């Protein structure tokens, strides 16, 4: 039978390593090389086309842009500073250009 002190030490040392995957986000960022390939293959729309559409529907200054896989689809995420001073997060389907979500940034 294993010694209780050995079990405790093993848990203390290995526990944090085993828990590193717990609570990670569902979204996975896409790098610029993969983004270029996705645009060239026609799987996603170019960023400039998405920005044109978003700036009409959600006017303001774009503070941040990310391209990522989110729940199995590729999305562009924007943080936009609205004219009234609010910062909003906008999620856009990268293949269709449809705005999926607009919400205030906390």
Q: Would the pLDDT of 18 be above 60?
A: no
Return the H-helix or E-strand segment holding 99: strand 99-104
Q: Lowest-pLDDT range, 3-12, 34-43, 47-56?
A: 3-12
Where in the chain are the domains? 26-104
Q: What is the mean pLDDT of residues 3-13?
A: 45
Give domain 26-104's CATH number out of 3.40.50.1100, 3.40.50.300, 3.10.450.40, 3.40.630.30: 3.10.450.40
63, 36, 34: which is closest to 47 by C-alpha? 36
Burial class (CB in 10 A: 0-12, 13-18, 19+), 69: middle
Q: What is the pLDDT of residues 42-68, one digit of tens each?
A: 999 999 999 999 999 999 999 999 999
Token digits of residue 27? 């979204």
Distance CA 35, CA 29 (A): 10
24 — pLDDT class (breaks 50, 70, 90): very low
Q: What number of residues does the chain have?
A: 106
Threshold 0.75, pTM exceeds: no
């Amino acid at each position: 039978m294993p010694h209780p002190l050995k079990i405790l030490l093993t848990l203390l040392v290995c526990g944090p390593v085993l828990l590193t995957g717990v609570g990670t986000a569902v979204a996975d960022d896409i790098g610029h090389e993969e983004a270029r390939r996705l645009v060239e293959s026609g799987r996603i729309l170019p960023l400039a086309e998405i920005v044109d559409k978003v700036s009409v529907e959600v006017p303001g200054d774009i503070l941040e842009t990310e391209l990522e896989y989110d729940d199995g689809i590729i999305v562009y995420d924007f943080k936009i500073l609205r004219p009234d001073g609010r910062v909003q997060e906008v999620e856009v389907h990268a293949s269709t250009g449809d705005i999926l979500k607009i919400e205030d940034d906390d």
